[in-house]
């Protein structure tokens, strides 16, 4: 090599989606320059050498589903803080949505392009790791379909539509958005829950006086999720376009995705760590505020559903795992639960941006449900491919040197007091997990070193992405 080497990682076990092998990794100019069995000659002149003996050398996780809130006057550090939390957890890139509740303005709720410009201004010098945006396409927008081509041309090839909530998108518009994005090399993400079934169930529960947080789950059935998922993949088939089903939670919905894949539909789907780790028993908790920790949509499901999701990850019926991170706080967004506020008025969501790798490694690899290579595929390689992160997602020459050094033999207990996100709790409190992140590099620069944050605010770049849904 004639150019200088900035970093050499030696003696680790490099893990790709296809295989694991002992190798050294050399980094130059932010990119992976060489992967070989012995780079001692390069290490002799490298600026930095890290011994990864006993560690896994993983590509950084790519979390494609977060509701990370942008900075506000009252909370100027919240976007930065959650990006640091992501890094501590082994995530080197993430996508955020700008739906209501994330700090986006009324102007952004009327125009996709205005929302992109606003998000880029708000986050320009704020993140410790790389990031991007999947805009929310909202029901009240003036001309969302007319803006999709310019959105993709701006390096933003994915967007999200909601079938539920007061900013839901009409089915006709979902179909047209899916088709338009597919023609432009983009992909629509869809929150699949049926509004007719859910609205009726919620109204019935409230009329009966069933207002406690636990009734949130009983009003959002697996059937309502499955019906909506079936509709979304049917749209994708008719539109000859890709679709990405977000936060799939149950076997009933998974069946429709698997059937669509088998018939050639470009149907993709993710699940989340909370569906892989926790179950609906959480809603038996008598304390309303404790119960509200798990007030998410879709809600937690049965142990049988959880097992089906792990089977789907192993088989390929499910494509990836993402967090659906919402930095709600018990003292703020969830506080109404302790005051008798009805469940339909309490914020939906739970934090998870820092615990993605930990929960998937422990629940999947350590328990023999998936291989470590499959984990890399689910958390890095496939997210990069499906969401247009062309330079990320693998330990390969020419890719960004987004690298995680991970100790598979470590044991730790997840505690909110030891996490770094902006929430004041974690749904995984007290969960003992195997494995621990030791160091994290983004484009070859250390962000976490030996368990300590050494990065810089603003180092993370907004990633303009390529073709999605491939």
Q: Is the pLDDT of residue 253 over 90?
A: yes
Residues contacting 96, CB < 8 A, separation 6+: 66, 67, 68, 70, 102, 119, 131, 132, 133, 134
| 453 close to 87: Cβ distance less than 8 angstroms | yes
* Mean pLDDT of all residues belonging to the chain: 97
The CA angle 81-421-301, to the nearest 5 degrees, is 145
Residue 419: both structure tokens together: 């996490």
Q: What is the pLDDT of residue 470?
A: 84
CA quadruple 94, 99, 101, 106: dihedral positive or negative?
A: positive
User: From CA 321, how far away is CA 382, in angstroms rounded?
Assistant: 10
User: From CA 340, how far away is CA 301, in angstroms rounded?
Assistant: 24
Domain formed by 60-387, architecture:
Alpha-Beta Barrel (3.20)
Q: Is the pLDDT of residue 162 over 70?
A: yes
pLDDT tens sequence across 329-348: 999 999 999 999 999 999 99
Mean pLDDT of 58-70: 98
pLDDT tens sequence across 390-420: 999 999 999 999 999 999 999 999 999 999 9
Domain 7-57+398-408+432-453 has CATH 3.40.50.300: no
Mean pLDDT of 19-44: 97
Residue 288: both structure tokens together: 């309303």
Mean pLDDT of 71-97: 98
Q: Is the pLDDT of residue 139 over 60?
A: yes
Domain ranges of the chain: 7-57+398-408+432-453, 60-387
Q: Is the pLDDT of residue 141 over 70?
A: yes
The CA angle 268-269-275, to the nearest 5 degrees, is 170
3-state secondary structure of 278: coil
**% of the chain at pLDDT higher than 70:** 99
| 294 close to 225: Cβ distance less than 8 angstroms | no
pLDDT band at 2 (very low <50, low <70, confident <90, very high): low
More confident residue, 2 or 93: 93
Residues contacting 238, CB < 8 A, separation 6+: 175
pLDDT tens sequence across 426-447: 999 999 999 999 999 999 999 9
Residue 56 sits at φ, ψ, to 5 deg, of: -85, 135
Q: Is the pLDDT of residue 37 over 80?
A: yes
Mean pLDDT of 204-224: 98
pLDDT band at 66 (very low <50, low <70, confident <90, very high): very high
Half-sphere exposure of 122 (CA within 13 A, CB side): 26
């Amino acid at each position: 090599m004639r150019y200088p080497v900035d970093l050499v990682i030696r003696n680790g076990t490099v893990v790709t989606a296809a295989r694991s092998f002992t190798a050294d990794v050399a980094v130059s100019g932010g990119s992976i320059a060489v992967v070989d069995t012995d780079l001692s000659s390069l290490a002799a002149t490298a600026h930095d050498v890290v011994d990864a003996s006993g560690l896994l050398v993983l590509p950084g996780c790519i979390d494609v589903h977060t509701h990370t809130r942008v900075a506000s006057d009252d909370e100027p550090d919240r976007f930065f803080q959650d990006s640091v939390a992501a890094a501590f957890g082994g995530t080197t890139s993430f996508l955020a949505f700008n739906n209501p509740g994330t700090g986006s303005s009324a102007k952004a709720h009327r125009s996709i392009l205005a929302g992109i410009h606003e998000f880029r201004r708000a986050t320009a010098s704020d993140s410790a790791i790389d990031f991007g945006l999947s805009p929310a396409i909202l029901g009240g927008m003036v001309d969302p379909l007319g803006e999709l081509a310019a959105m993709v041309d701006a390096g933003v090839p994915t967007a999200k539509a909601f079938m539920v909530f007061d900013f839901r998108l009409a089915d006709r518009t979902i179909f047209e958005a899916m088709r338009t994005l597919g023609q432009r090399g983009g992909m629509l993400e869809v929150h699949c829950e049926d509004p007719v079934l859910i609205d009726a169930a919620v109204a019935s529960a409230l009329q009966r006086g069933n207002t406690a947080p636990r009734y949130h789950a009983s009003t959002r059935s697996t059937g309502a999720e499955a019906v909506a998922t079936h509709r979304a993949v049917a749209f994708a088939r008719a539109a000859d376009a890709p679709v990405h089903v977000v936060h799939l939670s149950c076997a009933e919905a998974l069946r429709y995705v698997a059937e669509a894949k088998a018939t050639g539909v470009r149907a993709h789907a993710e699940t989340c760590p909370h569906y892989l780790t926790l179950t609906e028993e959480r809603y038996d908790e008598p304390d309303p505020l404790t119960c509200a920790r798990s007030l998410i949509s879709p809600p937690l499901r049965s142990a049988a559903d959880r097992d089906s999701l792990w089977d789907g990850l192993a088989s390929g019926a499910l494509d990836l795992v993402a967090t659906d991170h919402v930095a709600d706080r018990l003292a703020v967004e969830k506080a109404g639960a302790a005051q008798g506020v009805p469940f339909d008025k309490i914020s939906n969501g739970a934090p998870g941006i820092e615990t993605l790798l930990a929960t998937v490694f422990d629940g999947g690899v350590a328990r023999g449900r998936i291989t470590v290579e499959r984990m890399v595929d689910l958390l890095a390689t496939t997210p990069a491919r499906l969401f247009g992160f062309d330079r990320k997602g693998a330990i390969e020459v020419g890719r960004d040197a987004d690298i995680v050094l991970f100790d598979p033999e470590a044991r730790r207990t997840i505690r909110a007091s030891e996490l770094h996100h902006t929430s004041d709790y974690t749904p995984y409190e007290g969960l003992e997990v195997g494995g621990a992140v030791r160091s994290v590099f983004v484009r070859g620069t250390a962000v976490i070193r030996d368990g300590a944050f050494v990065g810089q605010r603003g180092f993370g770049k907004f990633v303009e992405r390529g073709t999605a849904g491939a």
